[in-house]
Amino acid sequence: MKKIMIYTVLLFCLCLCGCDGGQGSVTETTSTVPVVTTVTTTAETAAKTEEIVTVLFETTTTAAETTAPETTAAETTAETTAETTAETTAAVTTAATAAPETAAPEKKGFMPSVLAGEYTYNDGSAPVIEIVDGVTYVNGILIANKTYSLPEDFNPGGLHPDAEAAFDNMQAAAAAEGVALKIISGYRSYTQQTKTYATYSARDGKEAADRYSARPGHSEHQTGLAMDINSLQQRFADTAAGKWLAAHCAEYGFIIRYGAGKETETGFMYEPWHIRYLGVDLAKAVTESGLCLEEYLGITSAYAE
Ligand SMILES: [Zn+2]
């Protein structure tokens, strides 16, 4: 009998919001209480994990009207998952978008290693944060930023096939309109990122490098879901390709991940060339919201020190 321990901890992460240089950019959603669930599992027990994720999201349909307890720490085993998740996901009011009661959550085309379960739309409630094998999923969306890192050995082996296929479609559509798009940087391993960051921090200093280059384990490129298009110059935004990308990438499942004027929230300066695959529905929802992904999910992006 495989045993899965679930550690459910409710945390205030308000402390993180104040660690970004005192910019005072606490968004509405970051003031809510995030629900943090750590699922420790192995590849063998991945199926079991899906069950738990299913339970976690199903319970949200019955907990819609409940308010979150202010400070509760609970430790439980899989046997008592249903009761505990009902309590700890009380802050999530996602009845309108939760999976149907009997159906397992759809994977939206992601492999389990990339997306743990169904995502939920932001309705202003607390984010549900799951940590599966060291990888953070916020409302089911894999996140790598300054707050949430990837394990050194997280290696999808390249760009995610869905992200790559989506890019190919986007590239063809752009070409049909006379716009050339190419990937100049896709998947980067932890080791590659170590070298990349070391090079930039040696050249520009750590403080400057931290604005545009992620420390090892914190790069979205390690997820296999991010890519840099055409140019690493901010003037790319003013080119035909840059404008086309900004206007159309959501139609193919991408967002401009580090938007203009969002450095305090994303942790990175404006990068009109860096796109992140989210799938079409979510990419459109985030883009139409006008929020960056951190704001959309109600999370921070700041290094601990
Ligand atoms: Zn990039």
One digit per residue, pLDDT tens: the chain, 305 residues? 433 333 333 333 333 333 333 333 333 333 445 566 565 444 444 443 333 333 333 333 333 333 333 333 333 333 333 333 333 333 333 333 343 444 444 333 333 333 434 455 556 678 889 998 899 999 889 999 999 999 999 998 899 999 999 999 999 999 999 999 999 999 999 999 999 999 999 999 999 999 999 999 999 999 999 999 999 999 999 999 999 999 999 999 999 999 999 999 999 999 999 999 999 999 999 999 999 999 999 999 999 98
185 C-alpha to center of ligand 1: Å? 7
Question: Is position 271 annotated as part of the catalytic site?
Answer: yes
pTM for the whole structure? 0.66
Are 108 and 217 contained in the same domain? no
Domains identified in the chain, total number: 2
- As residues whose CB is below 5 A from the ion ligand 1, the structure lists 228, 274
The domain in which residue 233 lies consists of: 161-297
224 C-alpha to center of ligand 1: Å? 11
Are 167 and 134 contained in the same domain? no
Are 29 and 77 contained in the same domain? yes
Are 188 and 248 contained in the same domain? yes
17 C-alpha to center of ligand 1: Å? 24
Residue 105 included in any domain: yes
103 C-alpha to center of ligand 1: Å? 36
Are 175 and 288 contained in the same domain? yes
Catalytic member of 87, 130, 271, 294 = 271
22 C-alpha to center of ligand 1: Å? 26
Residue 99 included in any domain: yes
Residue 151 included in any domain: no
Residue 84 included in any domain: yes
Are 108 and 182 contained in the same domain? no
Q: Of 300, 180, 167, give the one whose Cα is nearest residue 239.
A: 180
251 C-alpha to center of ligand 1: Å? 20
